[in-house]
Every structure is written in C-alpha cells, then in structure tokens.
A and B are shown apart, each in its own frame.
Chain A
Amino acid sequence: MSDERGSVPPLAESRAVPKRQTRLSLVWIIPIVAALVGVWIAVTRVLNEGPKITIVFRSAEGLDAGKTKLRYNGVDVGTIMKIRLSDDHEHVITEVQMAPKTEGFLVADTRFWVVRARISGATVTGLSTLISGDYIGMEIGSSKEDKRDFVALETPPVVTYEVAGRFFLLKTTNLGSLDSGTPIFFRRLQVGEVTSYALDNDGKMLTVKVFVRAPYDQYVNPDTRFWQASGIDVSLTASGLSVQTQSLLSILIGGIAFETFPSGRILPAAEQNTTFTLYSNRTQAFEPPPRNPQTYELLFKESVRGLEPGAPVEFRGIRVGQVTDIRAQIDARTFTFSAPVTIQLDPQRLGIKLFGLGPGEDLATIRRKVINSLVSHGVRAQLRTGNLLTGAAFVAFDFFPGAAPVTVDWSQTPVQLPTIPGELQLVEESATDILKKVDKLPFKAIGNDLQKALVDFAQTMVTARGTLASAQGTFTSATGTLDTASNVIQPNSVQLRELDNTLQEVSRAARSIRVLADYLERHPEALIRGKKGGPK
C-alpha cells in the first residue's frame, strides 16, 4: 500500500487506511510465556501432589478443614482438606492431602492421633497446641504394606516405635491413680510408663499395658512382681515404723514399681505382653501367691466385730490363708445369730509332707484325711483379737484338746470347719456361768442355817464346859496312876535289879549250852562214849 501525496494545496484525496498487520508481533511471546509458566506450575503441582489419605476420628474437635496440619517430628507432611461424617454418623472421616513423596510413610501400622494439650500425671504435652491449634501427629510404621485409609488413635501413644523395650500386661482390680504416662520404677529408677488401660470384657478386672524401656526390660522375668507404688506406704509392724515410697513423683502422681522375687532361680526375661498381677503394695506383692486355694466356711456364733475380708487366718501363729467373706445369718427357727465366715486356705502354706501317694490316693483325699485327723485331735478355729488398739481380729486355728468331738461334713460346699468360741468369749462365758451359779446360791437359807448352827454351838459350849470339869478329875487320877508306874520303872528299883540278875543267869546258861553244842559237833561219839581227854 502506498499513499500518493501531491505537493501542496488540494488536500489529499487519497484515503489512508491503517496498515493490515499480517506479521506476528513479538508481543505474543508474553501469552506464550504466561501459558508455559501456567502449564509448568500446573504440571509440577499435579506431579508433586502427594497421596490422599483418609483418617477416621471419633470426633473432629479441634480439627479444621484446610487448616489442620499433619505433622511428623514437627514437619508438616499433610493438611486436612475435608472433614465429613461417616455414613452412620458415628465417626468423622477426614481427607488428608499428604505432601509429595510421603508414600513411604503410609503403611499398615502407621498411627495417627490428634495432638492437643494434655496434662496427664507427670507430663504436660502439646502445650504448643494451645496457641497453634491442634494438629495430627503421626508415627511411621515399619510395615511394608501400603495403606491409605487409617483409623486414628484416641490418645497419643506414650511409647513410639523407635524406643526399644517391651510391653507387659498387668491385671488389677483397681486402677488407683494410674493413667497413661504413669511412670514405672525399678529400684527407684524410672524405666517405663503406663501406655494404656482397658476394662476387661467381663468388667471384673482391668488390664494395664505398660512399657518398660530397654535395657531395663531384661529385668522383668516370670518371677517379677509389680505393685502400685502410689503415694506413701506407711506400715507399723513389730519391727517398728516403716515408710516406703518410690519417688516424690510417685507420691504425687502414683506409679508402678517392679522387682523380681528373690527366688534364686535364674529365669529368662519375660516375653512381650506377658501378663502379671498388679499388687496393691509391696508387701502383698512379695507374699507367695496362693496356688489352688481351698475355700472353707467357719460358723461363728459370737460377734465378728473386727474381722474383715483380708484378715489373716493363722495356724498356730503361721499365716495360712485369709478371710474372704463375712456374712450374717439368723436361724429362722431358733432366732440365733451366726456369722458364716468364708476363708481361703493356701495349701502351700499349710504344707503337708507327703511320703508318696498310695494307690487310689490323691492330694484331695490326703488333705481330707489330714484335716479330719486334725479336727479329731482338737483343732478348732477361733476368733482372736490381733490388735488391741484397733480391735482387728483374725482367725486362729489351734489345738483345743478339751473341745467337744466333731466330724467334718465333706459333702457341703464350702466345707464347714468346727469353731470354738474366742478366748475373750470363753472367759466371758465362764464368768457368766460362775455368776449364774453364785446367783443360784440360797444365801437366805444359808444365813438361817448358820444362825441356827451358832445357837447350837453355844449350847454345845455350855455342855462342853461341864465335860471339861469332869475331865479334869479324870486327869488327876490318871496322874496318880502314872506316878505309880514311874516308880516301878525307876533304874534303882528292886524289880529292875532282879530282872537284871535273872537275865545274867540266862546268859550264862546259854553259853554252857553253846560249848556243849560245839563239842558235840566235833565229837558226836561223845554222846555214846562220853567225854575223852582234852584235845591232843
């Protein structure tokens, strides 16, 4: 195109037309660059997009779609994108967009939980969440199996996978002050923690899961006893006052201590998840546990005040069992009160020395035989007061040779063993008996009789006085008689001298007879021939 331009005045007739732009302007680079950058960003975003996972929570409290992060060791590795309810409205399902390259974290045993401020026992955790809001904590599992749908833990795990050690299960009837995070002590060293606890299905026992860190877990073996070291254990015994605590921490928040029963056996360390009994104190923990305890019943007619379940049962001062139950029972016919007391005897404590089992014999029949024989020898249960201060009572078995014979009825369950009233009861009874007898004495009649007797006595005395006077006369005459007698037997009396002479004559005669007898013995012929001359 071209403009024809004349030299001057008549203004142009030609018509200017804007140039048709056919060539591509350089400016197109801009949208192309923008598009490329946009595509590049989109591609890298898509390529870098991490996996999407779902985590199921019980509640979405503190969780925020688009805000709440998923953190591993303080690093954000994901964000909750969406929170929705499960179809049954019971749970909350969160969809989490993970950071790129986190596929390796998402394995079968990876665990998630909500981190929020928690104060449990010794530890205050998640304080930062007070400001930053809750976040989801995670722990990467070691499994090789991939997983995308997870169920979060209710409480953060106390122990993470990285810590070496072993878990053990403790059975208890009472949780006490335990909580997850409660320390475990071994020789006052904190070696582990309570990780969780749950009520058993039957609702009778609690199972407390504890974790003992390596290397202390090797000190837990089948002979190890665990007990609640909560607070201060003060006991007043015959040896004095003893106070036992684990640490200041355990006084404040409780704890569990363990120690191995000094059995002298060398045992291998306990397996993971071995079940132990959690005792309520150290003393109890170190009592040999009753094995195969035998239940018996004792029927006490007296008041069982001071007797409590757990009270000891002693056999001549040796603890052989404990009281498990005390009830009251009133006989509808006689209206007499009795207290059936159930006891558990530990056959281990009440050892029976066996000399081998005979044919057809087993331990039960031998035990029956032994108890029968003990009962027939006068062994009876008696209620005794163990502590005068508190009035705590215990059951004592002892020999009472004078006890009325009884036979044990083995058909009952539990078997009833014979009892005898307690010492105090016995004293009381005999005192009552005596008082009753004294009460029965006819004191009035006795008084009357006594008076009568005294009158009689007075009369007797008068009579006696006369008797005495005559007696005096008798005595005087007797004196005369005795004087005469004494004259007769005086040393120089005539009768005595004559008797002496007579006796001398008799003595001489005896001598002659002896001489004759001697001669005749030697010369018996002399009786016939006569005496010969003198000996040659």
Chain B
Amino acid sequence: MSPAAVTAMQQGLQSCETCHLLSRPAPGVEEGRCPRCDEELVFRKPDSIQRTWAYLIGAAICYIPANLLPVLTTTTATGKDSDTILQGVILLWSPTGWPLSLIVLFASIMIPSAKIVALVYLLISVQRGSVKNNAQRIRLYRMVEFIGRWSMVDVFVDTFTAALIQLQPLMSVEPAPGLLFFAAVVVLTMLAVESFDPRLIWDATSAKEVSI
C-alpha cells in the first residue's frame, strides 16, 4: 500500500482539524491543544460513530413528520390551505414550473434522504471494518458534507415567504409544524456529518495493513 496508509494516529501524532498542523501530543496528556490555532486536539473525534448514529436516528425520525405534516399554511381569501412538501412539489409541477418543482423535490426530499442513507452506509461500513471502496466512501462523505447545507434552502424559502407574504387580510403565509421537523432533519443530518470522522474510513485499512 501507499505510504499514506500509515495514519498519523498510528504514528502517535495528532492533526489539527482546523489548521491541519500535525503535532505530537504532550506526554501523558491525551487532550491537548493545537500550538498554532489553539484548537482542541484529538486523535479521532470522540464517540464519533455513536454520536453520528444518534443524530442520524434523530434525523430519520424527524424526516417522517417533516414529510407528513404541512410545511406551509397559506391563508387567502379562498380559505386556508396547508401543504406538505410533496404537495408543494405536485403543486409546482406544471409545464413552466417543473424546474422549480424539481429543485424542491431534490433539495427537500431526495437530498435529506440520500444524506441519511449515505451516512448509514458509511457508519455500517466503518463499524464492520470494511476496507473496500475507501476512495468511493470518502468521496461520498465529501458529497454529503457539501450538499447538506443546500437542504436548508427549503427552510429559508419558507421562512422568507412567511415573513414577506403578510398581506392581511388578503393573503398570509405561515410556517406549519412540518417546517420545524424539516429544519430539524437538516440540522441533525448536518450535525451527523459533522460528528462523523471520515478518518475512520481508512483506519480499518491502515490497521489491517499494519497488522499484516
């Protein structure tokens, strides 16, 4: 294997997550601080897998009401209308509005679910000590990390709409409980991604190689 297979942890070194400075921990001390940026230094994020699982399960639970409960209540002269995310997608679907409909579909339904599925896959593979597809898995992790923030678009759009469209008594838009859950899904998945330590992906590989 390439020399990169040897990890810093195996060498007893700690890498700063913020400034990526490699430093040797002070003897006898497990938790030190980065001499350059004063970031807390750890070999691996503490309880990474457990925490990721916790966030992920929380996100998965919230994902259900987020899709079942209405996210937006529109009150117009025609009456009150509550729409869930999926209803919104259907509502937006029209010969001219389909791109918008697709954006909502991707950002609000597919991305959160994809994130959850991807993280579950990463967690399981790490826990099982898988050594395969390391490159793929790290790419997946980066993608999840990158894409995650875009899920917030829906929440922002909804909150903006609710704040801007207040033309009482003609029309008003209010966020509905579904939005809260949806925001929770987005936040929890982001936290899950954050708490997942991608270094765990190749730890198994390195361990295997070292042991060999």
Contacts and interface: CB of A to CB of B under 8 A. Distances in A.
Contacts of B12: 3, 5, 11-12, 14, 16
Contact of A132 (B61, B79, B184): B79
Majority secondary structure, B binding face = helix
B78 A131 contact: yes
B62 A12 contact: no
Nearest to B197: A18
A67 B81 contact: yes
Interface residues of B, number: 36
B10 A16 contact: yes
Interface in A1-50: 3, 5, 11-12, 14-16, 18-19, 21, 24-25, 27-31, 33-35, 37-38, 41-42
B50 A31 contact: no
A18 B47 contact: no
B58 A33 contact: yes
A478 to B, nearest CB: 137
A31 B58 contact: yes
A384 interface: no
Interface residues of A, number: 31
Given A12-B11, A16-B9, A38-B64, A69 B79 contact: yes
B54 A41 contact: no
Interface string B160-191: 00000000000000000100000010001000
Nearest to B184: A34
Given A38-B62, A41-B65, A25 B50 contact: yes
A34 B62 contact: yes
B58 A41 contact: no
A14 B24 CA distance: 14
B43 A30 contact: no
B22 interface: no
B49 A30 contact: no
Contacts of A38: 61-62, 64-65
B195 interface: yes
A19 B46 CA distance: 8
26 contacts: A12-B11, A14-B12, A16-B12, A16-B43, A18-B43, A18-B203, A21-B46, A25-B51, A27-B55, A27-B195, A30-B54, A31-B57, A34-B184, A34-B188, A35-B58, A41-B65, A41-B69, A67-B81, A76-B79, A76-B80, A131-B77, A132-B78, A132-B79, A133-B78, A133-B79, A135-B79
Interface of A: 3, 5, 11-12, 14-16, 18-19, 21, 24-25, 27-31, 33-35, 37-38, 41-42, 67, 69, 76, 131-133, 135
Kindly list the 10 A-B residue pairs having the minimum CB-CB distance in the complex, ordered from nearest.
Answer: A31-B58, A31-B57, A34-B58, A132-B78, A30-B58, A34-B61, A12-B12, A27-B54, A25-B47, A27-B51
